[in-house]
Structure 1
Amino acid sequence: MSSYRPLHDGWTLTSHDLAATPATVPGCVHTDLLAAGLIDDPYLDDNEDRLAWIGRTEWTYRTTFTWSPDEHERTDLVCEGLDTVATLTLNGIRLASTANQHRSYRFPVRHLLRDGDNELTVHFGSAYAYAEERRAALGERPGAYDEPYPFIRKMACNFGWDWGPALVTAGIWRPIGLESWSRARLAEVRPLAHADGTVDVHVRVERSTEEPLALTAEIAGVTVEARLDGRATVIPLRVPDPELWWPRGYGDQPLYDLAVRLGDDEWHGKIGFRSVELDREAFGLKVNGVPVFVKGVNWIPDDCFPTRITRDRLAERFGQATAAGVNLLRVWGGGRYESDDFYDLADELGLLVWQDFPFACAAYPEEEPFRSEVEAEAREHVSRLAPHPSLVLWCGNNENLEGHADWGWQDELEHRSWGAGFYHDLLPSIVAELDPARPYWPGSPYSGTPDAPPNDPASGTIHIWDVWNREDYTRYAAYRPRFVAEFGFQGPPAYATLRRASSDEPLTPDSSHQKAIDGRAKLLRGLGAHLPQPETFDDWHYYTQLNQARAMAFGVERFRSLMPYCMGTIVWQLNDCWPVTSWSAVDGDARRKPLWYALRRAYADRLLTVQDGELAVVNGIAEPWSGELHLIRHSLTGEPLAKEVVAVHAAPRSVVRVALPQSVAIPDDPARELLTARLDHSRTLVCYAEDTAMAFPPAAYDAHVERSSGGYRVIVTALGVLRELAIFPDRLDPDASVDDQLVTLLPGESAVFHVTTARELDTRALTSFPVLRCVNEVRP
């Protein structure tokens, strides 16, 4: 019988000038120092900069535990995650040194254990010092930031990004413990399931005996026994008439319990039966033979300190994604391989997962020890994640192929290695060996062949960053891409998030963390002719949040209207790791920004959008969409000036374009008219001119507030047109939220907002500036 004993108690943390301080394992130095009251919160004010010394300091974790000899032959120290440059010592004897946050480790230690007290120390060298030493030895490599992250196998964004702080961590960040066993143990179970119900269960064992071993695999009442004479085997299973696993919006997500037993050592997991194919020319995913339009978001690490990311926190974030209509998460290459909870939740919810290998925005050395470390981590995680039906794509890197081709790297490299051998050779060979039914793509952006321009819209995946960096968001209309894997536009976090993160009085646009180069100027420049230039903080906050929402809705609608030529959009980005102005839809304190509400509309199953003088009817579900399309040109007083009714039929999962009749396509006075299009319960509203050129009347409305279960109902009735009506209840209660945002009402129309809060709110404040906002508001 095997046994496992966690070693999570009694740890202390020391450094050259810090006496022994209680430490939490799993954890990291920053969270330990914060818990001890020795540092301020790194996420607030300018504390990030003042705490940079932590990443350049050496740290030692130490614990004492008791142990007594048992009946087992072997005892291993199992380290699931060490961050990063670690030297382990047991009872004064050096066990090993490691330098890879992305790997787990197992060390035989029975010969070093004592009956009674035992001392385990884990000394962490500075990740900066290690990376800089390797850089000096191997030669500089170009990258997006002047940081040495390519020279250490560690979460790259720990060193800072254009949305994240430089908080270079160290610590025992995943469980650590002793496992004792005899004769044999299950070292790896790698089930490969297929849509026809077959499962090839690859089993690898570690053994201390050469006697034959009995293995058993069981699923859905089907049991197969096997005899193992060596150290690896494959157990074939077949489930008759399996229920297929589907992405959300395409079917159900049935999961099957699989158990593998070797004596009393057991492995349990859930698998799903499905097929996945990648159209490598056009770049499109098929699941179970059905093309899937990807409505995706990019995922970054949800916290700089991973032990704070619980399953409940992931479930909340995934719930925010699915409620916005998302069906795919792209795990971005500057982060990490995510936790088992991440992929388990994706399986259960039908969220597809695109997994980047952790390489991003830099040239990476291929010399030793990096090549062996990359191979070890890739083998571990490809095997670990193989059972998950949600995982549909392995991708070699983020933007490194583009960087080498287009960012001037070749001159800087002077023929030094930069990662090509990883992306085109090592990683695809590992995937082909261990996970052959799942597609691999060398990087993103990538056009399908090494000699093609990586960011060519005509094939493969593209990233669009001229918008935001240089161009107005209307430039999205000039693109006709096959698949957009990154595009984004910035906006500040929620007011309550910004208020918590900054001690400024009063708040100003400079109060928000801003990591992007020239980010504050780009926010204002991005308003363009769309919205007025703000004169106050409150205007800056509302206008820039609104502009972010509009920009991304504009892009998503454009690309969805191109289906099936374009088969996917992955918005940059769903989440944040701290309170910051960024491209996220959900801010660092988990509050939904206006972008989230706009994304929910743009990712709705059925969408009406005006594109190139036509009305695109986007039907994203398996039933046809037929009916009468009502097109009305209105005056700003609500009077119908022209009306057309057109019969439309959109087949399942298709787009139909309807030319706008001249009577509604061309206004008499663009500044005083707008267009509505309605089909069943879907409506879109388009102004003929930018808001700054519209002759909107001063906002007039009746607002009524009544208590409801869990908060308040706010009923707003427009007496004149109300442009982009929004309520921000977190200004009154940081825990309050609202179910909708950015609603344009014509005269006589009403909207009902449900505000969730446990507090008594000032109802007058709830319906007044700056909580209730619209573009054409009248200031107090």
Structure 2
Amino acid sequence: MTDEWSAGVVTDRGGDDPPTVAEWRPVSVPGRPAAVASEGPIAYRTTVADPRTDATERALLDVRGAYDRATIWMNGTRLAAHEPHFVPARLEFDPEPENELLVVCERPETFAGVYGTDAVPDRLGTPGIWWGLEVESRPRTFLREFEARPRLGTDSMSATDADATAATAPNAITDGAGAAIDVTLEVDAGASIDDAVTLSLRPEGFRGGASMERVPVEADAGERTTVSKTIPIREPSLWWPREYGPQNRYTVRAKLGGDTVERTVGLRHVERDGDGLLVNGRRVRARGFTRLPGGDPREDVQRAVDANATLLRPRAHVPPRSFYEACDEAGVLVWQDLPASGSDLPAGRGTELAAELAREYGTHPSLAMYGVRDHPTDPYADPLGSGLLAKLAVRYRAWQTAVDRDPAAAIAEALPDEVPIVPVTGPPGTDPDAARLFPGWQYLEAGDIDWLLETYPSLGDLVGGFGAGSLADDDADPAAIPGLEPALLERGAADVAGSQREQARTLKTVAEGLRRRGCGVFAASTLRDGAPGGGMGVHTADGEPKPAAEAIAQSYEPIQAVLDGPAAPGTVGITLCNDTHEELEAVVGWRAGETTETERVGVGPLETAAAGTARIPRDADRVDLEVAVGDETVRNRYRL
């Protein structure tokens, strides 16, 4: 495969003929080349060699992430039109020694998701081959499609897993019935075949029983035939979110003659009730971040892990498969949105996309929830201040806001019910299934999170975004930074150090307020800025941590003591939060100025407990909390 690519804006589509391009420029693929950024279709051109070593072999083209509608030509012949971008295009072609490949990419007419908002720069939505392209040789008869879909009955768990959880999870999955992997294979027969596909199963990362089976397959030359097989797993080892158990997975390998393909899957069961998520029958606390496109997906997952997160929500976009692979390995739950944001939501197209999304990513054990529609409207686009009048204004704007929920509900019906579904994520007033809460940024003060949830208790059930923005560069123009509203920034501080300090304080106050109130699922907005100069991220666009990254990592510790309100001179309560399944006896201490005190506190599994009060003198510049449990000490810090 050559690394030499050129691209240009299409001036004439050409019908079934290759399009016309006025000027070709050198570009890098995969990527979003700035040299040809345009709203219109962009053509990408390269030359590829015949990948075959034998004339009996077949040449296949695999295009991944061709955003979002792609038309593909080889040697002047139109091979296919393809969408959406998150489903790979796998096409066969008749190769010559050298072959000219042309791929035209264009933006979607609907369902642009976050790319159609001001949360990210326009360049991130540049039509292009975002994830990769390969030309490969396959045998004359080969496995064209291979799906391995895990199935776990709600009463299935290995004896080891059951012993580990029985005391704290009486409703956990408890016996070995019902676990299996359903395998479906499409065989493309270049010649007549009367053979068998060998299926093998091996555990990944743990010791367990492997197995092997043979599935007969017959087909005439030129036919495609589908065969299926269910592989039972008698003593399944389950996949768990990080902090709650191991990330056990299974690799299924299929072999037919000289052709081999494999898939890695995990066994888990996810459901939701009024208190949050249950995974494999056990209550889990899902705390994490929304994620914007751009950047390295695996590095973003590691940033989330470093911040003690157990959840990532790709907001209104679909990330590459490498993101899911990293989440599977790390034990990070994924709240996966459709690329749907704003008021335009064609239900017919949305239903099609929902089916494609579930088919492409539904086998990943990290996939814990689907989201349909993000931010349908924003009654708080004009910022509000703080105080009693602002609270009245918040209530009035929520009261006068209305959203048509029917399209999102219709699309939600099309998604499989294997995991929970969130039809609408939005601010107060949109009747959201998951709330976007921005006290301390769009309205009120961060400490008013308690008032907000007392006024609208349902908003605390599931929170799909909260936070504040900051600058990352003193020379940046706030008005030019996507996702950062200058009027909101000025509420706190307009310089880098001040805005980052306010961002850290706001995120910490809201996150800990949600923990104190027992919110089972919540995501800070966002993990990383969408553009240089600043944004809503706790990291800059290139991944450098802001002060908010450390602050939120402290707030997200599984066992942590938190203040019951913003750190300020006076007396403030302390709450001990326990996100584990262990009953704990801890020593909680606080230090402010020259004063230090400790208190012994007991807290039950997945519960909170009062841990005394801290008396903060006027001359203190910070408050330090410590939690000692056994040999471990966890610290939390507040700057006044």
Partner AA of 1:594 in structure 2 = P
Q: 1:67 to 1:302 in 2, by over 3 A?
A: closer
| Alignment check: 8 A CA contact 1:614 1:659 kept | yes
After TM superposition, the structure 1 = structure 2 runs for residues 229-240 of structure 1, keeping only pairs within 5 Å, are 231-240=225-234
Identify the residue that residue 218 of structure 1 maps to in structure 2.
Answer: 200
CA distance in 2, matches of 1:362, 1:175: 34
RMSD: 3.7
Residue 474, structure 1, aligned to residue 447, structure 2: yes
| Alignment check: 8 A CA contact 1:617 1:650 kept | yes
CA distance in 1, matches of 2:401, 2:608: 41
| Alignment check: 8 A CA contact 1:244 1:254 kept | yes
Find 1:330's aligned residue among 302, 305, 313.
313
| Alignment check: 8 A CA contact 2:114 2:120 kept | no
Residue 162, structure 1, aligned to residue 119, structure 2: yes
Bigger fraction of residues in strand: 2
Residue ranges of structure 1 left out of the alignment (5+ in a row): 1-6, 34-50, 132-150, 304-308, 412-417, 448-452, 499-506, 528-533, 535-539, 687-723, 725-774, 776-780
Find 1:588's aligned residue among 517, 541, 544.
541
| Alignment check: 8 A CA contact 2:64 2:86 kept | no
* 1:213 Cα deviation from its structure 2 partner: 5.3
Find 2:528's aligned residue among 562, 575, 578.
575
After TM superposition, the structure 1 = structure 2 runs for residues 137-148 of structure 1, keeping only pairs within 5 Å, are none
* 1:438 Cα deviation from its structure 2 partner: 2.9
Which one has the largest radius of gyration? 1
Partner AA of 1:222 in structure 2 = S
| Alignment check: 8 A CA contact 2:66 2:128 kept | yes
* 1:119 Cα deviation from its structure 2 partner: 3.1
After TM superposition, the structure 1 = structure 2 runs for residues 7-406 of structure 1, keeping only pairs within 5 Å, are 7-15=1-9, 19-30=23-34, 33=35, 54-56=38-40, 58-63=42-47, 65-66=49-50, 70-72=54-56, 75-98=59-82, 100-110=84-94, 113=95, 115-124=96-105, 127=107, 151-152=109-110, 154=112, 156-159=113-116, 161-166=118-123, 168-173=125-130, 174-177=132-135, 179-194=137-152, 195-196=156-157, 198-208=179-189, 214-220=196-202, 221-228=210-217, 231-279=225-273, 282=274, 284-303=276-295, 309=296, 314-333=297-316, 335-336=317-318, 338-366=319-347, 370=349, 375=352, 377-400=353-376
Residue 558, structure 1, aligned to residue 547, structure 2: no
Identify the residue that residue 623 of structure 1 maps to in structure 2.
Answer: 582
CA distance in 1, matches of 2:225, 2:355: 17
* 1:205 Cα deviation from its structure 2 partner: 0.6
| Alignment check: 8 A CA contact 2:579 2:606 kept | yes
Partner AA of 1:610 in structure 2 = L
Partner AA of 1:650 in structure 2 = V
TM-score (norm 2): 0.76
| Alignment check: 8 A CA contact 1:628 1:645 kept | yes
After TM superposition, the structure 1 = structure 2 runs for residues 741-760 of structure 1, keeping only pairs within 5 Å, are none
Q: 1:673 to 1:322 in 2, by over 3 A?
A: closer
Q: 1:65 to 1:381 in 2, by over 3 A?
A: same
* 1:401 Cα deviation from its structure 2 partner: 8.7
Query: What's the secondary structure of 1:400's corresponding residue?
Result: coil
Paired residues, number = 560
| Alignment check: 8 A CA contact 2:574 2:610 kept | yes
| Alignment check: 8 A CA contact 2:238 2:248 kept | yes
After TM superposition, the structure 1 = structure 2 runs for residues 614-763 of structure 1, keeping only pairs within 5 Å, are 614-630=573-589, 636=593, 638=594, 640=595, 646-658=599-611, 660=613, 678-680=626-628, 681-682=633-634, 724=639
Identify the residue that residue 390 of structure 2 maps to in structure 1.
Answer: none
Q: 1:491 to 1:82 in 2, by over 3 A?
A: same
CA distance in 1, matches of 2:451, 2:401: 28
Q: 1:11 to 1:581 in 2, by over 3 A?
A: closer
Q: 1:512 to 1:388 in 2, by over 3 A?
A: same
| Alignment check: 8 A CA contact 1:9 1:63 kept | no
CA distance in 1, matches of 2:283, 2:215: 38
Partner AA of 1:289 in structure 2 = G
Identify the residue that residue 462 of structure 2 maps to in structure 1.
Answer: 483
CA distance in 1, matches of 2:141, 2:284: 47
* 1:325 Cα deviation from its structure 2 partner: 0.7
| Alignment check: 8 A CA contact 2:150 2:266 kept | no
| Alignment check: 8 A CA contact 2:47 2:98 kept | no
Partner AA of 1:170 in structure 2 = P
Query: What's the secondary structure of 2:576's corresponding residue?
Result: strand
Deviations 1:259-280 (A, max 9, x none): 123343322122223222222x
* 1:82 Cα deviation from its structure 2 partner: 2.2
Q: 1:603 to 1:471 in 2, by over 3 A?
A: same
CA distance in 2, matches of 1:393, 1:55: 32
| Alignment check: 8 A CA contact 1:626 1:648 kept | yes
Query: What's the secondary structure of 1:244's corresponding residue?
Result: coil
Find 2:498's aligned residue among 521, 543, 561.
543
Query: What's the secondary structure of 1:585's corresponding residue?
Result: coil
| Alignment check: 8 A CA contact 1:159 1:166 kept | no
Bigger fraction of residues in helix: 1
TM-score (norm 1): 0.64
Query: What's the secondary structure of 1:552's corresponding residue?
Result: helix
Q: 1:477 to 1:526 in 2, by over 3 A?
A: farther
Q: 1:168 to 1:618 in 2, by over 3 A?
A: closer
Partner AA of 1:192 in structure 2 = P
* 1:121 Cα deviation from its structure 2 partner: 2.5
Q: Which moved more, 1:473-482 or 1:588-597?
A: 473-482
| Alignment check: 8 A CA contact 2:150 2:181 kept | yes
Identify the residue that residue 763 of structure 1 maps to in structure 2.
Answer: none
| Alignment check: 8 A CA contact 1:245 1:252 kept | yes
Query: What's the secondary structure of 2:450's corresponding residue?
Result: helix
Identify the residue that residue 490 of structure 2 maps to in structure 1.
Answer: 524
Deviations 1:226-269 (A, max 9, x none): 23569444422233433332211112222332212334332212
| Alignment check: 8 A CA contact 1:245 1:254 kept | yes
